Amino acid sequence: MNTTWPLQDAKARFSELFTKVCTEGPQRVTRHGKEAIILMREADYESLIGQGASFIDFLLASPKAELDMSRPGDYGRQVDL
C-alpha cells in the first residue's frame, strides 16, 4: 500500500489517486521528494477542522443567567485646579 505519490505520478494517475483516497485513506503527494500535500476525503477534513456552530450561536444557546448589570450613578470626583 503506497501512500506517497510523486507529483508527476499523481497528475498522470489522478483517477487512481482519487480512488485510493476514498478507499484507503489520506495520500501524500510530494514535489521533488520534499514538499508535500495530503489528499483526504471531504468528510475526514470536516471532522478534523470541526465544522461546528459559530461562537455567536454558542453564546446564544447558553443558559441565560440572571445578572444584575445595574450600577450606581458615577458623577466623577472633585479635582482641585
Report yes or no on 79 lying in a domain.
no
pTM, 2 dp: 0.58
Report yes or no on 29 lying in a domain.
yes
Q: What is the CATH number of the domain that holds 23?
A: 3.40.1620.10
Report yes or no on 18 lying in a domain.
yes
Grid cell 485513506 — which residue?
A: 25
Report yes or no on 63 lying in a domain.
no
36-68: pLDDT as tens digits: 999 999 989 888 887 667 777 777 777 776 777
Report yes or no on 77 lying in a domain.
no
pLDDT for 1: 57
Beta-ladder partners of 5:
29
Domain with 19, as residue range(s), is: 4-56
Per the structure, the count of domains in the chain is 1
Read off the C-alpha cell for 50: 470541526
Assess contact for 22 and 44: CB atoms under 8 A. Answer: no
pLDDT for 10: 96
Report yes or no on 20 lying in a domain.
yes
Report yes or no on 41 lying in a domain.
yes
pLDDT for 74: 80
Q: What is the Cα–Cα distance from 50 to 10, expressed in whole angstroms?
A: 28
